[in-house]
A = this chain, B = another copy of it.
Amino acid sequence: MEKNRLEAFSDGVLAIIITIMVLELHVPEGSDISVLLPKLPVFLTYVLSFIYLGIYWNNHHHLLKAAGRVNGAMMWANLHLLFWLSLFPFATGWMGQNHFTPAPTALYGAVLLLAAIAYYILQSVIITQQGCDSKLAAAIGRDFKGKLSPVLYAIAIPASFFRPWIADCLYVFVAFMWLIPDRRIERALAERQN
């Protein structure tokens, strides 16, 4: 019952973040189709951030399904994750409106990095709670994607100041890497049910 409320609150915050981002796509003045063109970078960053938030929602969903009882540490680790995710609309809007210039691209990477670290902390809190024979720890295994992503973000941040397009490519690459859903946990849970 308790976990339900944590999920409901997280779902609410994620749903609002994902929808509020679209407000950065300000309705343009003029009714000519050409006024949409300068909106393209904003639209593309919106698509990218939408995918990232979709991935977070998806993985968060698997994570909490694997979690046991909710405790204070888990609640705060979860709020900490939501905090960094709540900065997505700001980082997305700044990067989109400035057409992928260095500083906004670096900030976007920093928000991605901090959200990834927050996710890792939440995951660790749940594993710690479950103890040695943690089903989640077993399901995650070596957690290759979870370890590679922050490394790539950490490379992208300084790269933004020299070649922003390298950073942008890294962001797109990580998103695609995660689009493949986290079958490990899904499989492990299915096995447990058998």
Contacts and interface: CB of A to CB of B under 8 A. Distances in A.
B12 A107 contact: no
Given A13-B19, A83-B50, A31 B104 contact: yes
B12 A16 contact: yes
Contacts of A186: 72
Contacts of A72: 58, 181, 183, 186
A2 interface: yes
Interface in A51-89: 54, 57-58, 61, 65, 72, 75-76, 79, 82-83, 86-87, 89
A176 B186 CA distance: 38
Interface of chain A, main secondary structure? helix
Sort A-B residue pairs by CB-CB distance and give the 7 closest, nearest first: A12-B15, A72-B181, A31-B98, A27-B93, A33-B103, A31-B101, A16-B19
A72 B103 CA distance: 35
